[in-house]
Structure formats: structure tokens, C-alpha cells
Amino acid sequence: MERKITVTATVLGMIAIVLGAFGAHALKKVLSVEQLVTFETGVKYQMYHALFLLFLGTTKLLSDNIKRTILYLIVIGVVFFSGSIYLLATDDLTSFNFKTIGFVTPIGGFLLICAWLYTFIIVTKNKH
């Protein structure tokens, strides 16, 4: 389980770096300042959760089943939250109206909050 979590963390982190650089260089020329800030929010949250997964993969405070649940909450949360933010920020660049999928952003945010809350609950209950 630790290997799977760590690999996922590194992939999410690497993608966040690539998207951050893409936003700072290529998208800077075609997006408004507001759209760039929105895009950067998606990158930041993706990176925060990649780092969270690195912690998760190395901690002994949680069982594998709990780690698996947190992993799924984070991956789905990042895809919904950051993914939808990337699409919404770049909406003007395509003919598809990504605002129609904007409802998944808060769902993703909720899943990310659940991952943190679940971790908090389990760690504080653990007497070891």
C-alpha cells in the first residue's frame, strides 16, 4: 500500500509542477489574470494533496485499509476539484462550455476535506 500511495503522490506532484509551469508560461499569454489565479489554485491544491499522500505513504499511524480510503478520497477529490478548476479556468480556449461541469468542484473539495477529517479522527483516536 505504501508504494502505491507514494507512486500516486509523485505522479500528482509531477503533474502539478508541469501544469504550474504550463500556466506560468504558455497560458500566461492567453488567459486573463483572474483565470491564471484560478488555474494556480488548482495547481496548489493538487500539490498540497500530493504532499499529503507522501505523508500518508510513510506514516505508521494508520492501517492499510484507512490509508486506502484516504488515498481514494484524495485522488477522486483532486480529479474533481483541481481537474474541474483547470477546465473552468481555460474554458475560453475551447468550444465546450466547461461551466456545465462546475458542480463537481465543490464535490471534489468536500472529498478533500473528508480525507483530512478522516485522518484527523483516526490519528486522534489512536492511543499509540
- For 30-52, write each residue's pLDDT tens digit: 888 999 999 999 999 999 999 99
CA separation for the pair 13, 19 (Å, rounded): 10
pLDDT of residue 78: 98
Cell numbers of 62, please? 494508520
**Of the given ranges (26-35, 39-48, 56-65, 87-96), which has the lowest mean pLDDT?**
87-96
Maximal CA-CA distance, the chain: 55
The one-letter amino acid code at 34 reads E
> What mean pLDDT do residues 78-91 have?
93
Identify residue 59 by its one-letter amino acid code. Answer: T
CA gap 39, 89 in Å, rounded? 6
Q: Is 68 helix (H, G, I), strand (E, B) or coil?
A: helix
Domain count, the chain: 1
Q: What residue numbers bound the domain in which 62 lies? A: 2-125
Distance CA 25, CA 48 (A): 21
Residue 128 pLDDT greater than 70, yes or no: no
Q: What are phi and psi of 18, to 5 degrees?
A: -60, -45
Global confidence as pTM: 0.91
How far apart CA 83 and CA 102 sit, in angstroms, is 10
